[in-house]
Structure 1
Amino acid sequence: MSSATVKHVSACYIKPKYEVQEAKQPYYLAPMDLMIFNFHYIQKGLLFTKPSHINNQEYSISKLLHSLKESLSLALVHFYPLAGQLTTRISKNRHECLIFVDCNKGPGARFIYATLDMSISEILSPADVPLVVQSLFDHDRAINHDGHRRPLLSVQVTELKDGVFIGCSMNHVVGDGTSYWHFWKIWSEIHRANGKQLLVSRPPNHKRWFPDGYGPAIPLPFTHPDEFVSRHRLDPPLPPEYVGNCVTPTITTTTAGELLAHNLGWVASLLHQSVVNHSDKIVHKIIEGWLQSPFVYRPGKMFDPYSVTMGSSPIFDMYGNEFGFGKAVAV
């Protein structure tokens, strides 16, 4: 196995291509967004075989970087909050704070070009994911509250010997997995259009969901990050273009003896039933309880050492995001 390391060649910041009127207003976070400041950024990447041509032009890394930056700036017109930064307003008299996205604060989304002297096979062949893969992302180990000082979106394009890896880190309070892969889809659509005028297939919906009588600005009962930051199914349904978090945990309980006495199909049926029972009524109960007593999840206290936690849904169309040189060989 190669001991090569990722080398950063250049970095810049990308703003939306055009001015967005909505970006002049505070972008308030909904209850399920406010709960997860201690969670990590969403980080996924697509590994592509290095092409000979892109959009009918001979491949060169400089042309690819230029077109990715240009299409990213257009994608940010639709996903304008990702070019901003988190901002906190504190009311010490009321012992509360209001955290929101200031869409005009900060330099924009970060774009990095890096190189790695390894091949696709060296990345994919080992039984375990090589540690160097962590360096293919800009926000490894960052938590969402870090969005006060780090970009809410960071893209790292790493050129391998025979491939190109596009890694994307997005602050989880701005959106969940559905929002994240929706962003990828819009960005890849714009990139493949190659400068031609394009009506995106599913424009994002930035109208945050709040229960009746609440919002859009919901304060948290804290005045300092130390009070909540630790080292780290609705009816009617929300539109699929909804940008934000619409994720709540559900718990399935059994014993070690029962697990050992049954097969995986039995375990899957238990999990399936828990998901089926996680109804609109239960989600509203969770949110209403949170609104009466707001909190921010602390993973260290949320998960005990005798639990197995599953996340990062496989339902998303990850391989449908192309940038002019075919489908990714891995995610």
Structure 2
Amino acid sequence: MSSSSALTILSNCTVFPDQKSTMGDLKLSISDLNMLLSHYIQKGCLFTTPLISSDTLITHLINSLSSTLSLFPPLAGRFITDADGYVFVSCNDAGADFIHASAVDLTVADLLSPIDVPQHLFKQLFPFHRKISHSAHSSPVMAIQVTDLADGIFIGCAVSHAVVDGTSLWNFFNTFADVSRGVTRASNIPDFRRESMLISKVPLRLPEGELTVTFNADEPLRERIFSFSRQAIQNLKAEVNNRESSREAVELSGKLSNDAQHKTVTSKEAISRNVTFETTEISSFQSLCALTWKCVTRARCLEGSKTTTFRMAVNIRHRLDPKLSDRYFGNAIQSVATCSSACEVESRDLRWIAEQLNKSVKAYDSAVVRRAVENWEREPKCFELGNHDGATVQMGSSPRFPMYDNDFGWGRPLAVRSGGANKFDGKISAFPGKDGGGAVDLEMVLAPQTMARLECDPEFMLYVSSYPRHVLES
């Protein structure tokens, strides 16, 4: 598709729930309020062309969306702010937007073959480009766009980030697909209860004037998908968990347990060799995060004393006491930060870096969440997305999200992609690999010079699968 080719909007309508909502106003939690100044989330799936007419397909998807909205009333609602400053989703059945578009000059290969993600093309496939989440006061909370391609179809979803996180979004999207296919799953029914510590009595006061995101959305960037096969991830995890000192610790631990008379001497030996007996099993994903942090930091050519931060969006549903349901609807995420000097991140081995990430995530329990809530209540404000110091890496999304577990009736997705929302230097999103089994795709957004250096980093590229991926064979 040439840069001059235009997408054609064939129809645009409002889809209403097929059953009247009985749900009252849903108060936004602290985690929801944090995202009011972010862009709408934009996620979508690329499919082969269904073997039915376009008109029949669109009517079917509109009816399926209508039924699905009855299960997710907030997505058909609008924001309201009461006299005290509290923000709610009014489940008023105002409806969601549904756009049918055509881009018949655009092929699947146009979208998937380039090394860099062709964001100038993808941004046309999503509604609400750069819409601020707070806009749901006057705009639909959600919009769906279905675009006919030359040899495929793209279903793009945009939804206010102050209403859903990734867990809730993919529960909706997959439920939408199930309904389209005529399947009902009780396990997908969302939990709308608002009974946790995340529901604050302190209102958020936003700055007056035009509301904008907290980063420069127009800075020059490159975006690539780096694929890591199951075997590459296993090799990386083995590398992180089997450094020499770990093997020494195991040997010395066995020596202690089998030879009591050498206990004192061996303990001194262990101390002198700086070996710990308790080794932590580092997960595959934390191993990949460690590799990414190290190699991106190196590619940025930072001063050694510069503090670099790795931020990871963590699902806190099971970290709270009492726990929230897996199906809790809304945002239940917080940002876990791990900091170190650029010199340490570049010079230390992957095991050490992964251990720092592991400690930060493990320590993020209910007490830490409560302290974060208390800090927010002392100074209520939205989370500031972005890389304001030039040394931050922000990992979002998750390879555990069931992004490929949707079938609208003509097969699973060929690929999952995002739009231009919330993109800045250092923003990374983790997707499961198309074929599952532990493979991971990283959608990486970096400054052009940083991306160029990363592509030449032998340590990073050692684990990257060959590119482009042969997704078109599916």
Give the shorter-chain TM-score range. Answer: 0.7 to 0.9
Identify if the C-alpha distance between structure 1 residues 81 and 165 changes in structure 2 by more than 3 Å, giving closer, same or farther.
same
* Alignment partners' CA distance in 2, 1:231 and 1:201: 35
Output the amino acid matched with 2:399: P
TM-superposition CA deviations, 1:296-318 (whole Å, max 9, x none)? 22336x84322111112221011
1:98 corresponds to? 86
**Larger relative contact order, structure 1 or 2 (CA cutoff 8 Å, min sep 6):** 1
2:99 corresponds to? 112
1:219 corresponds to? 203
Unaligned runs of 5+ residues in structure 2 are 215-318, 417-474
2:117 corresponds to? 129
Identify if the C-alpha distance between structure 1 residues 322 and 218 changes in structure 2 by more than 3 Å, giving closer, same or farther.
farther
* Alignment partners' CA distance in 2, 1:184 and 1:248: 22
**Structure 1 range deviating more: 268-277 or 153-162:** 268-277
Following TM superposition, by how much is the alpha carbon of 1:104 offset from its aligned partner in structure 2, in angstroms?
1.5
Following TM superposition, by how much is the alpha carbon of 1:264 offset from its aligned partner in structure 2, in angstroms?
4.6
Output the amino acid matched with 2:367: K
Output the amino acid matched with 2:59: H
1:145 corresponds to? 134
1:81 is the counterpart of 2:65 = no
Number of aligned residue pairs: 309
**Structure 1 range deviating more: 144-153 or 82-91:** 82-91
1:189 corresponds to? 178
Q: Is the 8 A contact 2:21 2:92 kept in 1?
A: no
* Alignment partners' CA distance in 2, 1:211 and 1:268: 30
* Alignment partners' CA distance in 2, 1:108 and 1:225: 28
Following TM superposition, by how much is the alpha carbon of 1:153 offset from its aligned partner in structure 2, in angstroms?
0.6
* Alignment partners' CA distance in 1, 2:413 and 2:185: 24
1:276 is the counterpart of 2:362 = yes
Identify if the C-alpha distance between structure 1 residues 27 and 2 changes in structure 2 by more than 3 Å, giving closer, same or farther.
same
Following TM superposition, by how much is the alpha carbon of 1:159 offset from its aligned partner in structure 2, in angstroms?
0.6
Following TM superposition, by how much is the alpha carbon of 1:134 offset from its aligned partner in structure 2, in angstroms?
0.9
Q: Is the 8 A contact 1:208 1:243 kept in 2?
A: no
2:40 corresponds to? 41
Give the share of equivalent positions with the same residue, in percent: 38
* Alignment partners' CA distance in 2, 1:311 and 1:231: 17
Output the amino acid matched with 2:2: S
Task: Name the SS for the 1:311 alignment partner.
Answer: strand
Task: Name the SS for the 1:157 alignment partner.
Answer: strand
Identify if the C-alpha distance between structure 1 residues 108 and 38 changes in structure 2 by more than 3 Å, giving closer, same or farther.
same
Q: Is the 8 A contact 1:26 1:102 kept in 2?
A: yes
2:400 to 287, 294, 315: 315
Following TM superposition, by how much is the alpha carbon of 1:271 offset from its aligned partner in structure 2, in angstroms?
2.0
**Structure 1 range deviating more: 198-207 or 178-187:** 198-207
Identify if the C-alpha distance between structure 1 residues 104 and 270 changes in structure 2 by more than 3 Å, giving closer, same or farther.
same
Following TM superposition, by how much is the alpha carbon of 1:266 offset from its aligned partner in structure 2, in angstroms?
4.3
1:259 corresponds to? 345
1:2 corresponds to? 2
Task: Name the SS for the 1:283 alignment partner.
Answer: helix
1:19 corresponds to? 20
Runs of 4+ in structure 1 over 4 Å off: 263-266
Give the alignment's Cα RMSD to 1 decimal: 2.2
Output the amino acid matched with 1:312: S
TM-superposition CA deviations, 1:220-258 (whole Å, max 9, x none)? 245x6449x444421232111100111111111111112
TM-superposition CA deviations, 1:52-100 (whole Å, max 9, x none)? 3xxxxxx111111111111111111110011111122345xxxxx2221
Output the amino acid matched with 2:19: Y
Output the amino acid matched with 1:202: N
TM-superposition CA deviations, 1:250-274 (whole Å, max 9, x none)? 1111111122213555433432322
* Alignment partners' CA distance in 2, 1:86 and 1:144: 10
Following TM superposition, by how much is the alpha carbon of 1:219 offset from its aligned partner in structure 2, in angstroms?
2.3
Output the amino acid matched with 1:127: I
Identify if the C-alpha distance between structure 1 residues 84 and 274 changes in structure 2 by more than 3 Å, giving closer, same or farther.
same
Output the amino acid matched with 2:193: K
